[in-house]
Amino acid sequence: MGKGGPPLLLNLTHCICLHPIASMSLQIAVAMIERQGEWLLQLRDDIEGIVHPGTWGLFGGHLDPGETPEQALRREVEEEINWVAGEVRLWFSHQEPHRVLHVFHVQLTAPLETLELREGQDMVLADLDALRSGAIWSPKRQERRPLAPSLQLALDHLERQGLPDPLASHRP
């Protein structure tokens, strides 16, 4: 057989089996983007096949190979709303059998009108009472939509633990 026959196939199979991504859990980084006690939410598209379509969620997404959770979060936020976040603090991580969710706390420093929604159907600032109701009004859709499970998880964590200490990242 010529070059590139079975030995090449064997090498490709070997590489695929040893690739670290194959054995890792899916990792997701999302942000609780806050301004004065209100949280910036994204109404996910109504597209079959995406995770939790048509629900209110947090901005963010999957980590690309080689990215840290913070790098992924910064990339996703810029892609989704055309905003470059300032200080980003890991708030908590939640491990499930097949995924790890990294939730960051970020202060919204830009006026809402300057954000450009590039992914999703709508975005709003919602206070805790609105979040606790379990469904948020969409001005663009003119209807209430439920919270995605990841947003509900973050809300539950907020109710139990509160926000991260803003001084914690500055202590020795």
* Domains present along the chain, CATH in parentheses: 21-164 (3.90.79.10)
C-alpha span between 27 and 151 (Å, rounded): 16
C-alpha span between 145 and 126 (Å, rounded): 13
Which positions ≥6 away from 26 have C-beta within 8 Å?
62, 98, 99, 100
Is-above-0.85 flag for pTM? no
Residue 13: pLDDT band with limits 50, 70, 90: very low
* Residue 119 φ/ψ region, left for φ over 0, alpha for ψ in the -120 to 50 degree band, beta for the rest: beta
Mean pLDDT comparison of 27-31, 48-52, 160-164, highest-scoring range = 27-31
